Amino acid sequence: MPLNDEQNGDCDSSRLSESAASSSDSEYSRQSFTSDSSSKPSSPASTSPPKVVTFDEMMAAARNLSDLTLAHEIAVNENFHLQRIEHPQNSLPGRVRQIVHQAFWDRLEEYLNKDPPEYEHAIKLFDEIKEILLSFLNPGANRMRSQICEVLDTELIRQQAQHDAVDIQGLANYVITTMGKLCAPVRDNDVNQLKATGNIVALFRQIFHVLDLMRMDNVNFTIQSLRPHFQRNLVDYERAKFQEILEETPSALNLTTEWIRESIQDELSSVSCEASSSSGAGGISKPNLSPTLVLTNSYLKLLQWDYQKKNIPETLVADEGRLRELSEKLNQLKIVACICLITSNMVGAAIEGIPDFDDKQKKISFVLLDGINKKTFDLKEALTAIGLKTCCEINQSLTERGFPPLNKEVHANLVGQICNVIEEDNTIRSLIDKRIQLYMRNFLASPCSQKSMATIPGGLAVIQTEVKSIGSQFASIVNLNKQVYGPFYANIFRKLLFNKPVTSTADTDPSTN
């Protein structure tokens, strides 16, 4: 979502925070950003000055976007969880981390091996361990809280160290025992392995490693606990958060407006052509368009969106990853359906007696088309391999049944037709694409109780299971998006179709009918 004319939707709060840190030492830290990025002065004839967006407002919008995206992901993605970032050891971050950590632990070992030992670094580590353990406790766990604070009292440990009476190993054993009481069952084995660590420095190192794992477990447990709450309140929460973003950044619906405007223009062109061909009259008024139909067409565009080159509408940023994945899966399915339809049309009689040939060809195609959406993928090479493998399977079956194999002309023609699918204007590819679009349109228009019964158009039977699954996931994304952003879409339609002023979303009916 653009936070100003020069900021695209991929910016996150961390990048903006870095910008804030670098600007805080400058006299321009409060510098304003205008919605007009041009350095030219505004015209004297202008009735109003350009909208000014301050740095603080931009930061507030970024925080709201981050909160909205996180809440949305927690609510709709049942598998959402956080993981520790582990850099490969041969990478630059991995090597730097290893060198710095090793230097730290080597220094700790050096201090503990002195005569007499220096315990100050170890005491600081115990203080940090204490704070981590306390963070795991529930509000009512007063008894354990008191015990942890008493045993890991750094001032007391420091006094004991001054009299050479501190029991580092005993304190470490207490920490391990406490970790065993607080950890999730999945960490029991990790905690038990700590008891077998003899070297005190290695033990410290492993304790912090397991504590990191426990912290991540605790965060993910919290996410899991909050998910039902987010699901119950997601629509109101997201709508309120986006309204805050819009108030901070008035340009936050620019991409969405253009997205809908394109569909309106497409629909006007379509209706105008139909009217011209039937009656010779081309005058169509905008209010005759159905907002519901236009919005459906807008959503369907997302299944053919160039996610690498075009920014997605602001209202769909939280679902960009899911939409991209569905688009990529659908792209692969289109190619598979084309391959199967071409084979059936050209050598239908030859494959008629082969058991489950369509399923075999589909599996072969899926394997050889794996990675089709990567820039480095060679689609023509993959299609050639699929064509050759298909001919091989057919010839083998014909030979086993006592029939002659495909002649060279049919063989070459079949491989060539399959390879031609790579062309964007290929007739079969265009046909399959239109039928998939028709199915998705019907799927979105069907009542929830009838979606699973939506009729599969001809030529898509071989990918019926997969395309239904994509349709179901796509419809879920669309329906939730309509619930959340319906008022904002309604305002856009008022402006584009009826030239009416934008109203407050609080007073707008979520339906765009």
pLDDT, the chain, mean: 78
**pLDDT interval class at 256 (50, 70, 90):** very high
Out of 51-60, 347-356, 475-484, 485-494, which region has the weakest mean confidence (pLDDT)?
51-60
* Per-residue pLDDT reduced to its tens digit, 31-65: 322 233 333 333 333 333 444 445 555 555 556 66
Same domain, 324 and 438: yes
Out of 211-215, 284-288, 292-296, which region has the weakest mean confidence (pLDDT)?
284-288
Structure tokens at 128: 């940090």
Same domain, 216 and 255: no
Domain boundary among 181, 209, 224: 224
Q: Is the pLDDT of residue 387 over 80?
A: yes
- Work out the end-to-end distance of the chain between its first and last CA atoms, rounded to an integer number of angstroms: 26
Tell me the angle at which helices 92-112 and 200-248 cross, rounded to the nearest 10 degrees: 130
Out of 6-15, 252-261, 328-337, which region has the weakest mean confidence (pLDDT)?
6-15
Q: Is the pLDDT of residue 507 over 90?
A: no
CB 289 within 8 A of CB 497: yes
**pLDDT interval class at 106 (50, 70, 90):** confident
Mean of pLDDT values over 278-296: 66
Domain boundary among 224, 243, 277: 224
Query: What distance in Å separates the CA atoms of residue 59 and residue 14, rounded to the nearest whole number?
Result: 10
DSSP sequence for 260-299: HHHHHHHHHHHHHHHHHHHHS-----GGGS-HHHHHHHHH
Same domain, 205 and 328: no
Same domain, 176 and 266: no
Residue 162 lies in a domain: yes
Residue 72 lies in a domain: no
Same domain, 345 and 384: yes
Same domain, 215 and 261: no
Q: How would you classify the pairing of strands 52-54 and 32-34?
A: antiparallel
Q: Confirm whether pTM is higher than 0.85.
A: no
Residue 284 lies in a domain: yes
* Per-residue pLDDT reduced to its tens digit, 315-367: 998 889 889 999 999 999 999 999 999 998 988 888 877 888 888 899 999 99
* Per-residue pLDDT reduced to its tens digit, 174-196: 999 999 999 888 888 989 888 88
Q: Is the pLDDT of residue 218 over 70?
A: yes
Mean of pLDDT values over 84-107: 76
Residue 24 lies in a domain: no
Give me the pLDDT at residue 78, please.
Answer: 65
Q: Is the pLDDT of residue 1 over 70?
A: no
**pLDDT interval class at 403 (50, 70, 90):** confident
Residue 365: phi, psi to the nearest 5?
-65, -45
CB 191 within 8 A of CB 214: no
Same domain, 203 and 159: yes
DSSP sequence for 409-473: HHHHHHHHHHHGGGSTT-HHHHHHHHHHHHHHHHHHHS-GGGGGGPPPPTT-GGGHHHHHHHHHH
Residue 364 lies in a domain: yes
**Nearest Cα to 56, choosing from 16, 14, 93?**
16
Same domain, 426 and 295: yes
Give me the pLDDT at residue 296, please.
Answer: 93
Residue 53: phi, psi to the nearest 5?
-115, 115
Q: What domain range is 357 assigned to?
A: 251-513
Cα–Cα separations (whole angstroms), residue 193 to 169, 185, 196: 15, 14, 5
Residue 419 lies in a domain: yes
Give me the pLDDT at residue 433, please.
Answer: 92
Residue 13 lies in a domain: no
Give me the pLDDT at residue 262, please.
Answer: 92
Same domain, 130 and 211: yes
Residue 58 lies in a domain: no
Same domain, 202 and 257: no
Give me the pLDDT at residue 77, please.
Answer: 67
Give me the pLDDT at residue 295, please.
Answer: 93
Domain count of the fold of the chain: 2
Mean of pLDDT values over 396-415: 88
Same domain, 372 and 498: yes
| Cβ neighbours of residue 54 closer than 8 Å, sequence gap 6 or more | 30, 32, 33
**How many angstroms from the chain centroid is the CA of residue 426?**
32
Query: What distance in Å separates the CA atoms of residue 324 and residue 308, rounded to the nearest whole number?
Result: 10
Q: Is the pLDDT of residue 27 over 80?
A: no
Give me the pLDDT at residue 184, please.
Answer: 87
Out of 83-87, 279-283, 357-361, 430-434, which region has the weakest mean confidence (pLDDT)?
279-283
